Structure 1
Amino acid sequence: MGLAPVWITGHGTRPCRLAWDFDPEAHHDQVVAWLTRSEARIPGARYNPRTPNTGMLELDGFRTLLIST
């Protein structure tokens, strides 16, 4: 499974965001598990879902938006 970070420029009151572009055949929950629970996880990362296909990945007080489309 390949992941690529995609920066989304902020404007006004919306801050810059980091979105992950991943294999379209990967399910959102698989990506979350890979980032937070697998041997390749990001140590200390926590995931907070917003919808079935979006959520915030948090690490050391910073957040990135994970979106599945």
Structure 2
Amino acid sequence: MHVTVAVVGGDEHGCALDDDATYADLIRAVGYHPQEASILVDGSPVPGDRVVDADRVTLLRLIKGGAT
């Protein structure tokens, strides 16, 4: 399965995933941890343990940066 991930405020990524991959797997494939990002499908958040069922999603980073 091929999924296009549009990162809010960032780039788009194309990801090739297994058919049983979850949204948490997709977040990891783009290089983030599931605790720092959420996936939106048609503008609504989806649970990380749900099997990917969309070919285009938005990734919203919940945590960015840190203390200096």
* TM-score of the aligned structures, taking structure 1 as reference length: 0.37
* TM-score of the aligned structures, taking structure 2 as reference length: 0.37
Q: Which has the higher contact order (CA 8 A, sep 6+)?
A: 2
Name the structure with the higher strand share.
1
